[in-house]
Amino acid sequence: MTVTTNSTTANVDVKVNQKLKEAYFTASQGQLIWTRFKKQTAAMVGAGVLIALILAGIFAPFLTPYDPTIDGRNKDYVYGAPNVPSFCDSNGCSLRPFIYSYNRTRSIKTNFRWVTEVDTDARRYLTFLPEGDKYELLGMTFTTHLFGVDTGKIHLFGTDSTGKDIFSRTFHAINTSLAVGTIGVFIAFVLALIIGGISGYYGGWIDSALQMMTDTVRTIPAIPLFMALAAFMPDTWSSETRFLFISMILGFVGWPTLARRVRTHLLTERNQEYVLAAQLCGASAGHVIRRHLLPSFTSYIIVDLIISFPYMVLSETALSFIGLGLKDPVNSLGVMLQNVTDPDVLLNYQWHFIPVLFFITLVLAFVFVGDGLRDAADPYADTKK
Amino acid sequence: MQFFRFALTRAFLAIVTLIMVSLIVFSLMELVPGDCAERYLAFKSSQGGAITIADIDAERVRLGLDRPYMVRWGSWIVNAFQGEFGNSCILRVNIAQLLGDKFWISLWICLVSLLVAYMIAIPIGIISATSKSPWLNNSLRLVSYLGLALPNFLLALMIMLFSTVYFGDTLTGLFSKEFRDAAWSFERVMDFLSRAWLPVFILAWSATAFAIQTVRALMSDEVGKLYVTAAAARGVSGRRLLWRYPARHSLGPIINSLGFDLNRIFNELPIVALILTLTEAGSLLIEALALSNDQQLAGAIIFMLTASIVAINFVTDIILALTDPRVRRSILG
């Protein structure tokens, strides 16, 4: 009796094993990478945070209560401290979170600095899905925001020197920084694919000449290059044009590293038998590159793209930080970081540092995901350890 | 003999690269709106003199700006190779005199940062690539990621804020007041060293993070290879095994990329210089490009920097050919 049950379970086991093996051997490259990626806790956490931040960036107008530009400013609450919602206080609890009212005074006694007194007796309750500033999302116009407050305005991260809501600005800034990064990475990627592809596939003197060109571009320090190009940008350009131009500059400067990698991959792959077979069948160079060589390292390219993303974001930040990148009406993380260098802000209004935390989280999330993907895309990762 | 031929080819290639770079730099400087003549006369008019279009044209002729583009580039590059960069557009001082030792100070700050970065990164990178402990690995990774995610300027700001509040000294600048314009002496060097550690630390911070990643990636590629297993089977073990086999191989590409590493560090110098109010080439560069549009000065600094990078690349190529038997064989046949 026991023997038979054992053998049936063993049979089932074998079948399950067989199925697993079958699944393993027939799995596509993507499925294999995903299976290995799932095993890495750090990378999975990074991916979760990253997706949350991307969604937060895309849906920023809905998630945040106010317009991030000067139109949405609260002129009665300049340099205002963050309002922290709470459920309970000495006057009892409430199911709806509330914030307190405040009185602001400025006189010779306070050295002409705004001093805020929180009035703990006057509660202001949070409201959900209130109507507010108009915004556009996915091509439609909405006025509903996720949350607001019944009287006055709520500033979760405080306000800046002109009374703009830092919470709203931060979320919109994530969106802008991601957009700059995406355009930059895309341009760099196309250039890298063309230049690296030609140089790796043909080799010989074409390779040497292109390599020399790549090295020349790599020799010029990027920030001075950015600065010279940005100095060329007339002041009269609108913030949208500047935004586009900056992203393009980032792309045009960032291609050499990617191009080198594409070239190295191609150089090793092009001597494989399957390429020779295709060539013997009379396939053209373009066909061989497109149909045979590119698929052989798509995963590496995706990984490289994700790894180069934070560098784009960092470059944009550095550029905006020295005042040559994006400027105030546009909200990018670099513009937000620029604010914290003001000694007054540094010593008195530390809530300007909150966007910095978002910035660090964003870069860290990208780096973790990129690293995890790199390990997952390496088919020999399991056998090595 | 063949080695000399190799060295000569490399030197020739380095000079060609430098000439190409100089063309790019020169063109970039042309992109900056306005030219030297306009800027000088604009300055003059701000001093109270009335100027006309004819004045600007006369100044252009005097500066040689009316000549064709390629001719101007030619004369610029010929002078540049002799270390002569003409006068600054705004300050009207000879650039060599204006820069003085500032460029060399900047270069040394960057080189020392690079050295510090690799002195930390090589042992840590090797440990992180070979250790089996996930805890050690993950914490090292987190530290090196923080180096990437926390931009230099933020780190500089935080250190400044901290030292202002707790020590009452902002730690800015490269010299104390009494040594700022003094001639080089022992005391001045000591004063310089007592302040230069901060920019070096800040620049080395992110450079180390980057270097650890590179060393770790190269090392983990090598440790799995068969020759390492073979060496281990012969009874070589521990540190001796790592140093004599995989480490030697994986450090080759690092030596090769030192020039580009220097480039990346110098990239960050202007921003750090801006915050720490350093008076060296990085801050001059940012002033020339972002504030005063001084093409001559900016061009000179970028050219000197790229020349240093090309020189370092040349030296590392030669060193690699001398030390790595594989490279040597591929050249000498």
At residue A1, the pLDDT reads 43
* Rounded alpha-carbon distances, angstroms, from residue B13 to B209, B216, B259: 32, 31, 15
Rounded to two decimals, what is the model's pTM? 0.77
Which residues of chain B does A223 touch, with a Cβ-Cβ cutoff of 8 Å?
267-268, 270-271
Q: Kindly tell me the number of DSSP H helices and DSSP E strands found in chain A.
A: 16, 6
SS3 content of chain B, % helix, strand, coil (to 5): 80, 0, 20
β-bridge pairing A115-128 and A147-149: antiparallel
Which residues of chain A does B289 touch, with a Cβ-Cβ cutoff of 8 Å?
224, 227-228, 231
Smallest CA-to-CA distance from A356 within B161, B139, B260, B253 is with B161
Across the interface, do A337 and B154 touch by the CB < 8 Å criterion?
yes
Answer CATH for A168-380 from 3.30.465.10, 1.10.3720.10, 2.130.10.10, 2.170.190.11: 1.10.3720.10
The predicted-structure confidence for A2-42, as pLDDT tens digits, reads as follows 455 555 666 667 777 777 777 766 777 677 778 887 887 77
Across the interface, do A224 and B154 touch by the CB < 8 Å criterion?
no
Query: What is the ipTM score, two decimals?
Result: 0.70
Strand order in the sheet with A115-128: A86-89, A92-105, A115-128, A147-149
The predicted-structure confidence for B283-311, as pLDDT tens digits, reads as follows 777 777 666 667 778 888 888 888 888 88
At residue A7, the pLDDT reads 57
Q: Which of B161, B274, B302 sits opposite A322 (nearest CB)?
A: B274
Cβ atoms < 10 Å from Cβ of A8: 10
Residues of each domain in chain A carrying CATH 1.10.3720.10: 168-380
Rg (CA), chain A: 27
Q: In chain B, which stretches have pLDDT less than 70?
A: 1, 32-34, 39-40, 43, 46-51, 91, 167-185, 279-281, 289-293, 327-328, 330-333
Which residues of chain A does B141 touch, with a Cβ-Cβ cutoff of 8 Å?
42, 371
What's the distance, CA A239 to chain centroid?
Answer: 20
Residues A346, A351, A356: CA angle, nearest 5 degrees: 85
For B116, the enclosing helix (H) or strand (E) is: helix B102-130
At residue A384, the pLDDT reads 43
Which residues of chain A does B138 touch, with a Cβ-Cβ cutoff of 8 Å?
42
Name the minimum distance, in Å, from the CA of B177 to any CA of chain A: 22
Chain position carrying tokens 């010989």:
A204
Q: In chain A, which stretches have pLDDT less than 50?
A: 1-2, 383-385
For residue B69, what are the contacts with CB-CB under 8 A and spacing of at least 6? B30
At residue B248, the pLDDT reads 78
Q: Which of A215, A324, A340 sits opposite B157 (nearest CB)?
A: A340
Cβ atoms < 10 Å from Cβ of A248: 15
Residues 155-214 of A with CB under 8 A from B: 212-213
Cβ atoms < 10 Å from Cβ of B203: 28
